[in-house]
Chains A and B, each alone.
Chain A
């Protein structure tokens, strides 16, 4: 199976080195380790911290929990933006995917550069496969993106968006 870019390499490396244990999993970097309902409390302190100085530059490309692993002063790839957005909006994305519509889901489609004409197919794909995308309540945003990639790769209309 073809798995896209950085994400795929890390996933394979992670599985080989750690046997899939969450702690050493490199996929938790850059927002990918976010779980459902993660820290209304935790994020409050971080967002409050966002009003302080000296993190201006770092904040430009995302402040959500786990900026570890996100490129800072270097160029941030489109994949990083997908990762960060997914991690920061994980709860809303779950709701939108189950519903088949929603602002967060639309924004994800935009970030993944899916043409407007293919979006309805994309939304239907996430809705029909919701249970596969969110198999258990400890699913992480990294898991979600990986599963989503596999699903899109198998879809005739959408597989052109997941060439590595």
Chain B
């Protein structure tokens, strides 16, 4: 009896004392004042964490984040001070049961404010964040690497390449194995559903897609870019401290499920990734230099240039690059054996292969296997799997470990070391006996005669090139060209690869047209031309590309019969240059038969010669002959070019 009474009294005392020590809500007023005095809301660190950008039309700011859940204040998207106060109030409040505490939803903000205001010292509650801790432990991050995937011509979103961040695990002491395949890739991309082609391009340009950060194993990226899309990867190790890496990851946690409307030209993958790196080190201003469009390789340059932030660079060749490298190790007969093996015309245990010396046999089997895998998509052959396995079985019996011979060498020029994305050109010449001065500007990106180092061979991507010509004799200034887009993809064919080459161009130009309806009186007039073609490219000698195309052309101009002309034709060319990338030459010829609208046959031919002077400058000599409307004329010019 006494015992139970004692227990009753004890529990009464305990419960009252428990009531007595229930925590009261923290009053954040003092810290809010300090935050105002120190102008924390306006400081760089807060602006970066909330992704604020100055408005163009007034002195305020707007956050690039478009999800309401990212902001704790009602108008947080436009109000840094309101947001910092709402954040401090949320941190001060006692977390409700069943709700994720604000500290665990916004750990980067917490860390940043803690360092400046000592929140724990002020008694702010510090609930544990088990999901966050488990995630950080699972990542085991020791380093961050920026990965650049080179341009992929068959997808409009990939024309300028792509960047992603890789979170690298710790190397076990003394273990030299590369741990890349155990790393995680942070990617920012548009959620485009199944949209393709022109719809995808238009919606992507105008911000119709939401964009999100995502995280997945790096090996999935290697498979996607390296295997399926044949894109070489360049990996730039970033010199971030462990504390900076942790802040970057905490900020990434804050950005889960936060939508940033994706704009292909400026708020794209590369731009948003720079935002993550700035969150790790707010003193870095990486995005400030971009006012307009953001080309991925330029963001890599910003990092490489920024106070040595990027240290080691690794090169990861795509499957296609590796396959081509292996093929080059085979002589002609061995290549034919490998091709027959890939086609299924030869079995791996065929005497012609089995009798080869071990290293040659290993290479032939490797090429046969890799070629089947490379072409699997287009063929979808049900015999592929058993044939692959048979080849690998034979390879396992060859007593050679690894691939014989040297591995793929890193290209001499890295993508970030290539010529600048923008180009200016000034010069003069003669067209149809008239002297002219020409000025040209091209904001992006690369043509077939530009210095090749750091760029994919045979790929031309030009946007918004503007050329003006002044003819002093008649004091006329013409819009000579405004090319909206000009893309060419030349891919050489050989025993193993048979790609189709293609090209597409659309834009405004000034040409000699029959201004008064008569072909005897030609004068300069504006024309809108769209042309495209498909063709074949060969490699006639080392470093050269020869191509033949079938083209279609659609011209629209008021001076043409019925205001248009539709033509079909063919073109051919030879492109070559020296190994040292000092000069390049293009020979070209074209004939078009206009079959509707203003019908006629037109020819053109020419030579373009470029000579590089310094790293950033060069000369161009252009000689062309045009024949149209039964007239011929010469167009010759000499131009000075600078890339920046």
Task: Indicate if the CB atoms of B182 and A107 lie closer than 8 Å.
Answer: yes
The answer to whether the Cβ of B411 comes within 8 Å of any Cβ in the partner chain is no
Residue among B176, B392, B395 with the highest chain A CB neighbour number at 10 A: B392
Picked from A43, A99, A109, the residue with its CB within 8 Å of the CB of B402 is A99
B-contacting residues, A74-125, CB 8 Å: 75-76, 84-85, 88-89, 91, 94-95, 97-104, 106-107, 109-111, 116, 123
Q: How far is the CA of A84 from the CA of B138 in the complex (A)?
A: 15
The answer to whether the Cβ of B314 comes within 8 Å of any Cβ in the partner chain is no
Closest to B191 in A: A52
Chain B residue contacts of A111, Cβ below 8 A = 182
The answer to whether the Cβ of B177 comes within 8 Å of any Cβ in the partner chain is yes
Closest to B224 in A: A47
The answer to whether the Cβ of A9 comes within 8 Å of any Cβ in the partner chain is no
Q: How far is the CA of A100 from the CA of B404 in the complex (A)?
A: 12
Decide yes or no: A137 and B257 within 8 Å by CB, A59-B215, A73-B131, A110-B177 being known contacts.
no
Q: How far is the CA of A123 from the CA of B402 in the complex (A)?
A: 10
The answer to whether the Cβ of B373 comes within 8 Å of any Cβ in the partner chain is yes
The answer to whether the Cβ of A131 comes within 8 Å of any Cβ in the partner chain is yes
Picked from A55, A60, A134, the residue with its CB within 8 Å of the CB of B135 is A60
Chain A residue contacts of B450, Cβ below 8 A = none
Task: Indicate if the CB atoms of B214 and A50 lie closer than 8 Å.
Answer: yes
Task: Indicate if the CB atoms of B212 and A60 lie closer than 8 Å.
Answer: no
Task: Indicate if the CB atoms of A99 and B214 lie closer than 8 Å.
Answer: no
Decide yes or no: A134 and B384 within 8 Å by CB, A37-B373, A47-B220 being known contacts.
no
The answer to whether the Cβ of B174 comes within 8 Å of any Cβ in the partner chain is yes
Q: How far is the CA of A36 from the CA of B388 in the complex (A)?
A: 9
Task: Indicate if the CB atoms of B174 and A116 lie closer than 8 Å.
Answer: yes
Chain B residue contacts of A106, Cβ below 8 A = 177-178
Picked from B175, B256, B393, the residue with its CB within 8 Å of the CB of A130 is B393
Task: Indicate if the CB atoms of A85 and B219 lie closer than 8 Å.
Answer: yes
Closest to B391 in A: A98
Min CB distance B298 to A, Å, is 23
Closest to A44 in B: B228
Q: Which of A18-26, A61-69, A143-151 contacts B (4 or more CB under 8 A)?
A: A61-69
Interface string of B392-416 (1 = CB under 8 A from A): 1101100011110000000000000
Task: Indicate if the CB atoms of B396 and A116 lie closer than 8 Å.
Answer: no
Decide yes or no: A137 and B401 within 8 Å by CB, A52-B214, A110-B177 being known contacts.
no
Closest to B210 in A: A53
Kindly state the interface size class of chain B when it binds its partner. 35 or more
The answer to whether the Cβ of B351 comes within 8 Å of any Cβ in the partner chain is no
Chain A residue contacts of B401, Cβ below 8 A = 99-101, 123, 127
Task: Indicate if the CB atoms of A57 and B178 lie closer than 8 Å.
Answer: no
Chain A residue contacts of B366, Cβ below 8 A = 99
Min CB distance A98 to B, Å, is 4
Task: Indicate if the CB atoms of A51 and B175 lie closer than 8 Å.
Answer: no
Task: Indicate if the CB atoms of A75 and B134 lie closer than 8 Å.
Answer: yes
Chain B residue contacts of A102, Cβ below 8 A = 402
Task: Indicate if the CB atoms of A103 and B217 lie closer than 8 Å.
Answer: no
Q: How far is the CA of A99 from the CA of B227 in the complex (A)?
A: 19
Task: Indicate if the CB atoms of A107 and B179 lie closer than 8 Å.
Answer: yes
Min CB distance A115 to B, Å, is 9
Residue among A54, A75, A137 with the highest chain B CB neighbour number at 10 A: A137
A-contacting residues, B198-222, CB 8 Å: 210, 212-217, 219-220
Q: How far is the CA of A76 from the CA of B257 in the complex (A)?
A: 23
Task: Indicate if the CB atoms of B389 and A134 lie closer than 8 Å.
Answer: yes
Residue among A75, A123, A130 with the highest chain B CB neighbour number at 10 A: A130
The answer to whether the Cβ of A154 comes within 8 Å of any Cβ in the partner chain is no
The answer to whether the Cβ of B181 comes within 8 Å of any Cβ in the partner chain is yes
A-contacting residues, B351-390, CB 8 Å: 362, 366, 369, 373, 376-377, 384-386, 388-389
Q: How far is the CA of A101 from the CA of B362 in the complex (A)?
A: 13
Chain B residue contacts of A137, Cβ below 8 A = 385-386, 388-389
Chain A residue contacts of B215, Cβ below 8 A = 56, 59-60
The answer to whether the Cβ of B223 comes within 8 Å of any Cβ in the partner chain is yes
Min CB distance A26 to B, Å, is 23
The answer to whether the Cβ of B40 comes within 8 Å of any Cβ in the partner chain is no
Task: Indicate if the CB atoms of B138 and A131 lie closer than 8 Å.
Answer: no
Task: Indicate if the CB atoms of B402 and A100 lie closer than 8 Å.
Answer: yes
Chain B residue contacts of A53, Cβ below 8 A = 191, 210, 212, 214, 256-257, 259
Decide yes or no: A51 and B388 within 8 Å by CB, A98-B395, A116-B175 being known contacts.
no
Chain A residue contacts of B395, Cβ below 8 A = 98-99
Task: Indicate if the CB atoms of B396 and A98 lie closer than 8 Å.
Answer: yes
Min CB distance A137 to B, Å, is 4
Q: How far is the CA of A65 from the CA of B397 in the complex (A)?
A: 31
Decide yes or no: A76 and B138 within 8 Å by CB, A37-B373, A107-B179 being known contacts.
yes
Task: Indicate if the CB atoms of A64 and B377 lie closer than 8 Å.
Answer: no
Chain B residue contacts of A55, Cβ below 8 A = 214
Task: Indicate if the CB atoms of B216 and A63 lie closer than 8 Å.
Answer: yes
The answer to whether the Cβ of A40 comes within 8 Å of any Cβ in the partner chain is yes
Task: Indicate if the CB atoms of B135 and A57 lie closer than 8 Å.
Answer: yes
Min CB distance B271 to A, Å, is 16
Task: Indicate if the CB atoms of B392 and A130 lie closer than 8 Å.
Answer: yes
Q: How far is the CA of A55 from the CA of B215 in the complex (A)?
A: 9
Task: Indicate if the CB atoms of B184 and A51 lie closer than 8 Å.
Answer: no
The answer to whether the Cβ of B190 comes within 8 Å of any Cβ in the partner chain is yes
Q: How far is the CA of A94 from the CA of B392 in the complex (A)?
A: 8
Task: Indicate if the CB atoms of B178 and A52 lie closer than 8 Å.
Answer: no
Min CB distance B133 to A, Å, is 12
Task: Indicate if the CB atoms of A95 and B392 lie closer than 8 Å.
Answer: yes
Chain A residue contacts of B386, Cβ below 8 A = 137
Decide yes or no: A131 and B214 within 8 Å by CB, A40-B376, A43-B223 being known contacts.
no
The answer to whether the Cβ of B64 comes within 8 Å of any Cβ in the partner chain is no
The answer to whether the Cβ of B568 comes within 8 Å of any Cβ in the partner chain is no
The answer to whether the Cβ of A128 comes within 8 Å of any Cβ in the partner chain is yes
Task: Indicate if the CB atoms of B138 and A61 lie closer than 8 Å.
Answer: yes
Q: How far is the CA of A36 from the CA of B369 in the complex (A)?
A: 13
Picked from B134, B182, B214, the residue with its CB within 8 Å of the CB of A51 is B214
Chain A residue contacts of B189, Cβ below 8 A = 51
Closest to A106 in B: B177
Interchain Cβ contacts under 8 Å between A and B, 12 examples: A36-B385, A37-B385, A40-B227, A51-B214, A53-B214, A59-B216, A97-B392, A103-B181, A107-B182, A116-B174, A130-B393, A137-B388
4 A-B pairs with the lowest CB-CB distances in the bound complex, closest first: A130-B396, A101-B402, A51-B189, A98-B392
